[in-house]
Structure 1
Amino acid sequence: MSGEWLLVAPVYQNSYSRNDIYLPEGYWYDYWDSTIYPGNQTLNDYDAPLEKLPLFVKGGAIIPMYPEMLYDNEVSADTLTLDCYPYNQSSFMLYEDDGLTREHRTGSFAKQTFTMDASSESIVLNIGESIGTYNGKYENRVYTPQFHIINEPEEVTIDRMVITHYGSYEEWTNAIQGWYFGNNVAYIKTPLIPTDTVITIELLF
């Protein structure tokens, strides 16, 4: 396990498959194709070429991700992606500081809690306010949750307001707000939102 939500199974031999991958209790998503496996089982002959590290995400995970960068603060992190793997009720607390100094030792940091509640009828993601402060903290952010699901939602709302459904990933990328579904992932985008507010995103089926 790498933390609470990720299970990594490195390949130690000259082989293109991996045996004896034990998945603990729960439900596990294959990170690469979103295949769902029930826990309490051992996987054998898992396809693992050189470019594919066996990686599984526990159902319920909410994984915050900054834009791709080589080092902290290389690019702006005013867009926060939340990689979501719905399963029952779950939560995650994001900790942030300036990434440069030791001022976090004297209280210069912020925490933000995300909760997710998944059922057959809906998935509800609550984005809590960012509590605390530090030098360089973002006052506003765009959130781009991406939900790994099998069925396409009928509609998506932000704070109970229906948002636009786009027919292509490119249209969604260029939009200020909206959602797109493709390859078993629902991509959501919020407008720029103050980080000291609470918002609710709901997918309805």
Structure 2
Amino acid sequence: MAKTWKRWTEPEIARLRQLVEQTDPALTYTEIAERMGRSWRSVKHGVFYHLGASGQRRATMCGEPWTREDYDRLEQLLEQGLTYEQIATEMGRTYTQVRGATERIGLRDPNRRGRNRRIIPEAERIIRDCIEVERMTVPQIVERLAAHGHHVSRHWVHSRIQEKGQGLRKELKRNATERRARLRTLQARRQRAQRQQQEARA
């Protein structure tokens, strides 16, 4: 069944221009779509066809480095199922920047357009050794991978472990349980030592 497009009226175009030019606060295409009762893609097409080059939003952060908050926001948008084009518009970045950032944190989705997510054999070996030999948890594994030059997120590590089967997941869960037990024991020892010091001073 062919898609039907809702024609833009003159009042809608005027309202669209007003929302696009708004700067305090600046609205994303998704927010504009919600206010106008249209889809994100419809708003994007409306800006392109009715407002021209002057109305199209430029990527205001093209030259800015990525911060931790930017990467966290990127992960959230990827989990929501947005495409790279949509994420680029939401974050004020270019398509290429979004795709590159996604690869850097190891969240490249093989179902998206482009090359499949790279599988790093060395990183997978490190993950297995960290779990089975050194009894590490995911945050510790992320730090170990970073020390070897593999800067990935916890989400990526979890996804690799999930793909390796139930045995490795059980090992990881046991490591986390043992680590919590060790931390509780250490905390109890410190508290006992502090009480003994206070009693000795008294």
Normalised-by-shorter TM-score class = under 0.3
TM-score, normalization by structure 1: 0.20
TM-score, structure 2 as length reference: 0.20
Instruction: Choose between structure 1 and 2: higher strand proportion.
Output: 1
